[in-house]
Amino acid sequence: MDLRLSGQVAVVTGASRGIGLAIVSTLLAEGARVVAASRRRSPELEALAGPGLVHVATDLMEPSAPGLVIARAAEEFGGLDILVNNAGGPPPGVTLPRSSFFEAGDDDWRAVFEFNLFSVVRAVRAAIPLMLRRGGGAIVNVSSANGRQPAPMNVDYSAAKAGMNNLTKALSEEFGPQGIRVNTVSPGPVRTPWWTDQGGAADIIAAMAGSDRDSVLDRLAPEMMRLSTGRLVDPQEVADAVVLLASPRSASTTGADFVVDGGLLKTV
Q: State how far the Cα of 107 lies from the Cα of 113, in Å rounded to an integer.
A: 10
Say which amino acid occupies 16: S
Integer Cα distance of 177 and 150 in angstroms: 32
Note if the bond before 97 is cis, omega within 30 degrees. Answer: yes
Task: Count Cβ atoms within 10 A of the Cβ of residue 179 and give its class: 0-12 exposed, 13-18 middle, 19 or more buried.
Answer: middle
Find the radius of gyration of the CA atoms of the chain: 18
Catalytic residue, from 26, 77, 141, 157: name it: 157
Phi, psi of 48 (to 5 degrees): -95, 5
> Is residue 12 within a helix (H) or strand (E), and if so which, with residue range?
strand 9-13
Residues near 129 by beta carbon (within 8 Å), at least 6 away in sequence:
none
Residue 223: count other Cβ atoms within 10 Å of its Cβ: 10
Q: Is 64 a catalytic residue?
A: no
Q: What angle do CA 108, 110, 112 make, to 5 degrees?
A: 70
Q: Are 67 and 125 in contact (CB under 8 A)?
A: yes
Supply angle C-alpha 140, 141, 145, rounded to 5. 125
Handedness of CA 119, 120, 121, 127 (dihedral sign): positive
Which active-site residues does the annotation give?
157
